[in-house]
Structure formats: structure tokens, C-alpha cells
Structure 1
Amino acid sequence: MDFQILPVTDFQQNCTLLWCERTRGAAIVDPGGEPDRIAALLSQLALQPERILLTHGHLDHVGASVELARRYSIPIEGPHPDDAFLFQSLPEQCRMFGFPPIETFEPDRWLQPGESVAVGDETLAVIHCPGHTPGHIVFYHAGSQLAQVGDVLFRGSIGRTDFPRGNHRQLIDSIRHRLFPLGDEVRFIPGHGPMSTFGKERRSNPFVGG
């Protein structure tokens, strides 16, 4: 599986294209905005979008989902249904952060822990990692040892828990007990900022290391 990261919007949120190298089938992960830039990159890379995958329901991760789903006639999948309240509050989130208004929507498929999603011939495991939001999920590709972690973990930091229904203890438990056991070699793409590995964060991240 291959990938390319495209930071979008003023929040520099990492929208990621994940694709199967054999079929060129792709998933658009967390398209927070700027759908035309995302579409241009899909075209440049000669990818065939198959689905949109969402790690959680915050505006900067979902803002262009409906536009791209309509454009390519593809489904929106994820996150866990515990984030449903965030999708209902999208107009309020837009006003709060100064984004152009978008309507409320629901994913075509909510995702549960233990389920998987297909991208071409490849398969991503779904891991429920609450804390930043109650329904936050992580997508993990075992063959590439690659995880898309959204706003759970960052290089040298962790996700915020001061938003509605955030929970600091849950977040720490999610990182230590659901992500780190996947292995030190696993690379991860965070929702913002540069990539890292679980091993590096386990050893040196002041919030969850040690």
C-alpha cells in the first residue's frame, strides 16, 4: 500500500490518499476541505477513488466529504457511531471556526472495532481509539506497518481532550493499549504535522512515553 499526504485548510490537516499499488484503487482519508486540490492530486496520481474514510467527526477532518462523495459517487465510511453528535453539530463548528457552512450529514457506514475496510486488494483494520472524541477510530494496514491515527497521537504530543466529550484517561489508554502493542516499527500518519513511529513516541513522547 502506498500513500501521499496533502495538508488542507488553514488548520493544515493531513488529508491522506491511501492506495493499492496493483489496482490504483484509493481511499480518501479525512478530507477536511479544499476538494478541488484533493481531486487534482487524485488525477495527478492516476488513482481511482473507492471510498472516503473518516477517523472522527471534527470539521477539519470531514469538511469536503460530501462534495467528494458526490463527485466520485463513492461512500463515506467511519468513524464509530459515538461521534454522531459531532456530525449533527457541523453547522455550529463552521460558525465557531470561521469555515464556509456545510450541512449536517451521516456516513454511509459507521465502523465498529474489529471490522475492516477494503482499498483495492488491500485491507485496513479498524481500531476504536476514544479520547480525543468518543468515536475516534484508527486505520491500520498490517502489511505496510502503517497507521492513520487522526488526532489521537502526534510526534511529541497527543490529541486534545478539552473538546465536547473528550476524555484524557481514555486517550492515554487508547495509545498505550491499542496502538503501541501494534509494534515499535509501525509508522503513523497523524491528523496534523509530521509522521513518526510508535516506537519513537513510546520512548520519547512526554505524554505517553516511558
Structure 2
Amino acid sequence: MQWLQIPLGPLQTNAYLLINDKKECIVFDPGSEGEAFVSYMESQNLKPLAILLTHAHFDHIGAVEEVRNKWSIPVYIHELENDWLESPSLNRSEFFQQGSIKTKKAEHVITEEKTLVIGDFAFTLLFTPGHSPGSVSYYHEPSGIVFAGDTLFAGSIGRTDLPGGNHATLLASIHDKLLTLPEETAVLPGHGPATTIASEMDQNPFLNGF
């Protein structure tokens, strides 16, 4: 399978596509520029099967409706943030002068860690709160990648100063759920370049001594 990183919007939030050899794909965090994002997928003859959200901050959900409506596909999000999709206050768009970004609630609400199967795609759901209370990471073992949202970055970690954030919880999520993955696992973050578990274990200053 192939994955693509597509930065979108003023915050350059990373949307991702995981694509199989049938041109089917899973869409992660379509954050903005919905028309252009849809046009790109059409130009590549892709067939999205679902939208998986790592969390519901405004910069990760801004293009959900365009993608969902174009292909009539379901959205997945953790139960603690399903209400955020409809609320510019909860998803913080109204506080960051981004207008009133909102979308309908998700068709599928994540309530537990499990294996999620969508067509040919299977993901291990990892509950990784801290940046937000309902942050989820999606581990695709066959490809050796984890879609980590704003939990872990190359050389950094997610911010915890927004409502629902907690620094100690974030560090525990990273240590217990992400750093226990194989060291060669590629970490695909919500912003910035991809990294690996090994690189962050060795070089991330926020994780030293944890």
C-alpha cells in the first residue's frame, strides 16, 4: 500500500491517504481546502472508503463535509469528541478566527481500542489522549505506519494548553501506546514531516528521561 501526505490550509495540517492497489483509499484528517482536496483525489481516480479522524480540532475537520458528501462515506471519531464536530466552540475554530467550522456528527463512534476493518484495510485503534481528550492513533501494521495526529511530532509533542489537554496524559499516551510500537514504525503526524519511533526515542527532547 502507498501513503500520501497532503498539507492543507493555513496551519498546513497534514491530511493523509492510504491507498491500495485497487485505488481504494482511507482519508485521514481532511482539514481544509475541501474543493481542491476532492479534485486531487478525483484526478487520481481514487475511491475513498472512509474518513478517520485523529481528533476534532478545527484544522483537522474543515474539509470533512466535502469529502463525505462527494463519496457518501462514513466518518469515524472517538466518542469524547463527536459533539465537537458540530460545535465551533468545542473544536476551537471560533477562538482562532477561522470562522464557524463545523460538520455533522460521525457515522461511527469509537468507544474502545480494537481492530477496525474497512474493506482491505485493517487498523489497530490506539487511544492516545493528552493533546485532546479523544485523540486516537491508527496503527496500520502491514505498512508499518501509525497515523498519530497531534500526539507526537518529529522532535516535538502535541500542545496541551487547549481545553481538554493534559501534559502528563499526553506523555503517558506516547510512552504506553506509541513508543511500544516497533522502532521502525513510521509516525505520520498532524503537522510537519514524518518520523519514526526509533528517531523520537533517541532524539525527541520532550521524551528524554521519560
Give the TM interval when normalised to the shorter protein: over 0.9
CA distance in 1, matches of 2:171, 2:89: 30
Amino acid at match of 1:81: E
Map 1:43-122 to 2 at 5 A: 43-78=42-77, 80-90=78-88, 93-122=92-121
Q: CA deviation at 1:194?
A: 0.4
CA change 1:25–1:120 in 2 (3 A) is farther
Distance in structure 2 (CA, Å) of the matches to 1:30 and 1:194? 15
Q: TM-score, normalised by structure 2?
A: 0.92
* Deviation readout 1:151-186 (Å, 9 max, x if unpaired): 000000000000101111110011011111111100
Question: For 1:118 and 1:24, how far apart are their aligned partners in 2?
Answer: 17
> Does structure 1 conserve the Cα–Cα contact (< 8 Å) formed by 2:32 and 2:61?
yes
State the alpha-carbon separation in 1 of the partners of residues 72 and 83 from structure 2.
25
- Verify the 8 A CA contact 1:24 1:48 in the aligned structure 2: yes
Consecutive unaligned residues of structure 2, counting only runs of 5 or more, are none
Give matches, 1:121-132, under 5 Å. 121-132=120-131
Aligned residue identity for 1:84: N
What pairs with 1:114-193 in structure 2 (closer than 5 Å)?
A: 114-193=113-192
Per-residue CA deviation, residues 76-112 of structure 1 (Å, 9 max, x unaligned), is 111x112235334325733222224334531111113
Q: Which moved more, 1:103-112 or 1:60-69?
A: 103-112
CA distance in 1, matches of 2:99, 2:162: 21
State the one-letter code of the partner of 1:12: Q
- Distance between the aligned counterparts of 1:176 and 1:119, measured in 2? 28
Distance 1:73 1:146 in 2: 26
AA of the residue aligned to 1:8: L
SS at match of 1:110: strand
Distance of 2:42 and 2:115 partners within structure 1: 26
Partner Cα separation in structure 2 for residue 173 and residue 3 of structure 1: 28
> Larger deviation: 99-108 or 185-194?
99-108
Deviation at 1:116, TM superposition (A): 3.0
- CA RMSD between the two structures: 1.6
Quote the residue 1:207 is aligned against.
206
Runs of 4+ residues over 4 Å off in structure 1? none
